[in-house]
C-alpha cells in the first residue's frame, strides 16, 4: 500500500508525508521515527546551540535511521542572527541531501545548498513567494495556509484557496502544509493539486516527540478554537496555542503604541523550551495550529503515518472511486 507522488519519487520516501522543522521539537528522536515510518523526518538546525552540536545531532539521527531525513534552516528576522553560514556548512559537510528552508530571504543559502546537489524544500506562505523561490531554483515548495502553527504570513489565505492557487502557477512539486492531521486532509491536499502534506502540530502529539507529556495532553485536550494570532501589529504574525502567556501577550500588544520590546521577555525562545521540557504550560508560548481540533490521541509516528495513508486510500477507493463508478453505471444504463 503506497500513494506515489512526485514527492515520494523525488525524496525517495514511501509516503507523501513530511514532518516540518520545529524549534526545540525537531530532534533526532522525532525525525528518525518519522523517516523510519516512511515519511520525511526533519531536524531543526537552530534547536542545536552550535553548528558542532548540529553535526552531532545529524550523526545521532543517522544512527537511528537508514532512511532519508532532512534538516530545516529557518532564517529569522532577529537583531542578533545566529551564524547561519556556519550552520549551513555543518549541514553540507555532514552529507545531508535534503534541506527545508524557511523564513525571509533564504536565496544565498539555497544557492549554496543547490551547488552541493542538495534537494531544497522551501516553506512559504504565499503564491508570490512560492513563485520567486521557484525562480531562484528550489526543488519543492511547502506552502503553509492560514491554519498553520508558527508564522502564517500576513495574507490570511487558508489552505483551501492557497494550495490550488499555488498549484495553478507552480511547475515544481508542492507540499501542502497547515491544518493537516489525518487521511481526509491528505486526500484533500492531493485533490487540491499538492503532491503531499507537511505536518507540525500533529507530530508533536506522538510518542516519539521529545517534549513533556503535559504538552501532548494539552494538544489532545484542546480543539480548533484554542489558538490565537499574536504579533499581528508587528507584521510578524504567529499562531500559537491559547495559554496564560499568549493571553498576556495579546493583551499587551492590543495597547496603543505597543512594541515588541513590551512582550520580549514573555515570548523568549528559552521560555518556550522550558514549557516543552518541564510541562509547565504557563512557562512560555506553546506553538500549535488549528489542527488541534483533529488531534485526539498520542500514537507512535508509525501508527500515525500508517493510519493517515490507510484512511486516505480507503477514502479514495470506497468514497471517491465508487462515486464516479455509480455515475458511469447510470450513464450506460
Ligand atoms: C512547536 C512548533 C515549532 C515550530 N518551529 C518552526 C521552525 O523553527 N521553523 C519552521 O520553519 N517552522 C516551524 N514550525 C512550523 C511547522 O514546521 C509547520 O510548517 C506547521 O506546523 C504546519 O502547520 P500545522 O501545525 O497545522 O501542521 C513550528 C511548528 C510547531 C508546532
How does DSSP assign 112-130, residue by residue? HHHHTT-EEEEEESSHHHH
Distance set, CA 91 to CA 44, 133, 230 (Å):
11, 20, 32
- Select from 200, 292, 282 the least CA-distant residue to 247: 282
User: How far does the centroid of ligand 1 lie from the alpha carbon of residue 21, in Å?
Assistant: 6
What is the predicted pLDDT for the residue at 327?
Answer: 65
Instruction: Find out whether 29 and 210 touch, Cβ atoms under 8 Å.
Output: yes
pLDDT string in tens for the chain (333-residue length): 689 999 999 999 999 999 999 999 999 999 999 999 999 999 999 999 999 999 999 999 999 999 999 999 999 877 789 999 999 999 999 999 999 999 988 899 999 999 999 999 999 999 999 999 999 999 999 999 999 999 999 999 999 999 999 999 999 999 999 999 999 999 999 999 999 999 999 999 999 999 999 999 999 999 999 999 999 999 999 999 999 999 999 999 999 999 999 999 999 999 999 999 999 999 999 999 999 999 999 999 999 999 999 999 999 999 999 999 866 666 666
Cα of 288 vs centre of ligand 1, distance in Å, is: 8
pLDDT on residue 2: 80
Tell me the C-alpha distance between 60 and 67, whole Å. 13
Of 22, 194, 277, the one to substitute when testing ligand 1's pocket (max ligand atoms within 8 A of C-beta) is 22
236: closest CA among 153, 123, 145? 153
Q: How far does the centroid of ligand 1 lie from the alpha carbon of residue 201, in Å? A: 7
State in Å: Cα 324 to ligand 1 middle. 37
**Maximum distance among all Cα pairs of the chain, rounded to whole angstroms:** 71
In this structure, the residue with its CA closest to atom 7 of ligand 1 is 22
Expressed in angstroms and rounded, the spacing between residue 99 Cα and the centre of ligand 1 is: 15
The pLDDT of residue 292 is 98
Spatial CA neighbour of 181 closest among 28, 70, 276, 305: 305
Distance (angstroms) between ligand 1 centre and the Cα of 310 equals 25
- In this prediction, residue 325 carries a pLDDT of 81
Distance 200 CA to ligand 1 centre (A): 5
Which of 18, 20, 204, 294 is the pocket-test mutation for ligand 1 (most atoms within 8 Å of CB)?
Answer: 20
What local confidence, expressed as pLDDT, does residue 216 receive?
Answer: 98
pLDDT per residue over 289-332, tens digit each? 999 999 999 999 999 999 999 999 999 999 999 999 866 666 66
* b/e sequence 205-227, b meaning 16+ C-beta within 10 Å: bbbbbbbbeebbebbeebeeebb
Shortest-distance atom of ligand 1 to CA 20 = 17
Alpha carbon distance 267, 238 (integer Å): 11
| pLDDT at residue 330, as a whole number | 66
Per-residue cell: 324: 464516479
- Locate the ligand 1 atom nearest the alpha carbon of residue 100 and give its number: 11
Ligand 1 pocket, mutate which of 149, 163, 243 (most atoms under 8 A from CB)? 149
Q: Is the CB of residue 90 less than 8 Å from the CB of residue 112?
A: no
Distance in Å, CA 323 to ligand 1 centroid: 36
Residues with CB under 6 A from ligand 1: 20-23, 25, 44, 72, 74, 102, 123, 144, 147-150, 177-180, 198-202, 204, 287-289, 291
Q: Which atom of ligand 1 has the smallest separation from the CA of 142?
A: 19
- The percent of residues in the chain predicted with pLDDT above 70, rounded, is 97
Burial of residue 15 (CB within 10 Å: 0-12, 13-18, 19+) is buried
Separation of CA 20 and ligand 1 centre (Å): 6
Residue 150 contacts residue 200 (beta carbons within 8 Å):
yes
Pick the residue whose CA is nearest to atom 19 on ligand 1: 20
Using DSSP, state whether 48 is helix, strand or coil. Answer: coil
d(C-alpha 141, C-alpha 165), whole Å: 13
Cell numbers 495559554 correspond to what residue?
A: 243
Q: Which atom of ligand 1 is nearest to the CA of 147?
A: 26
How many angstroms is it from 100 CA to the middle of ligand 1?
A: 12
pLDDT given at position 80:
84
Contact indicator for 312, 186 with CB cutoff of 8 Å:
yes
Amino acid at each position: 500500500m503506497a500513494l506515489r507522488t512526485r514527492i515520494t519519487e523525488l525524496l525517495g520516501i514511501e509516503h507523501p508525508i513530511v514532518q516540518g522543522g520545529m524549534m526545540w521539537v525537531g530532534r533526532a528522536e522525532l525525525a528518525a521515527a518519522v523517516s523510519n515510518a516512511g515519511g520525511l523526518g526533519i531536524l531543526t538546525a537552530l534547536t542545536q546551540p552550535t553548528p558542532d552540536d548540529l553535526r552531532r545531532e545529524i550523526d545521532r539521527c543517522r544512527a537511528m535511521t537508514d532512511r532519508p531525513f532532512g534538516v530545516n534552516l529557518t532564517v529569522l528576522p532577529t537583531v542578533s542572527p545566529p551564524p547561519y553560514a556556519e550552520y549551513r556548512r555543518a549541514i553540507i559537510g555532514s552529507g545531508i541531501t535534503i534541506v527545508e528552508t524557511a523564513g525571509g530571504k533564504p536565496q544565498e543559502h539555497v544557492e549554496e545548498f543547490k551547488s552541493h546537489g542538495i534537494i531544497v524544500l522551501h516553506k512559504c506562505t504565499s503564491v508570490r513567494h512560492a513563485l520567486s523561490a521557484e525562480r531562484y531554483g528550489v526543488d519543492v515548495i511547502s506552502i503553509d495556509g492560514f491554519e498553520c502553527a508558527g508564522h502564517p504570513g500576513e495574507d490570511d489565505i487558508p489552505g483551501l484557496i492557497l494550495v490550488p492557487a499555488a498549484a495553478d502557477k507552480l511547475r515544481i512539486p508542492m507540499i501542502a502544509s497547515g491544518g493537516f492531521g489525518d487521511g481526509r486532509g491528505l486526500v484533500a491536499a492531493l485533490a487540491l493539486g499538492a503532491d503531499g502534506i507537511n505536518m507540525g502540530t500533529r507530530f508533536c502529539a506522538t510518542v516519539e516527540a521529545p517534549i513533556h507529556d503535559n504538552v501532548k495532553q494539552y494538544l489532545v485536550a484542546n480543539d480548533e478554537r484554542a489558538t490565537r494570532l499574536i504579533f499581528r501589529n508587528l507584521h510578524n504574525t504567529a499562531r500559537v496555542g491559547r495559554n496564560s502567556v499568549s493571553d498576556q501577550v495579546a493583551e499587551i500588544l492590543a495597547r496603543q503604541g505597543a512594541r515588541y520590546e513590551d512582550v520580549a521577555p514573555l515570548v523568549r525562545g528559552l521560555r518556550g523550551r522550558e514549557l516543552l521540557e518541564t510541562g509547565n504550560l504557563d512557562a512560555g508560548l506553546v506553538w500549535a495550529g488549528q489542527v488541534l481540533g483533529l488531534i485526539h490521541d498520542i500514537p507512535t509516528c508509525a501508527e500515525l503515518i500508517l493510519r493517515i495513508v490507510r484512511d486516505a486510500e480507503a477514502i479514495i477507493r470506497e468514497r471517491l472511486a465508487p462515486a464516479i463508478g455509480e455515475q458511469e453505471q447510470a450513464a450506460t444504463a
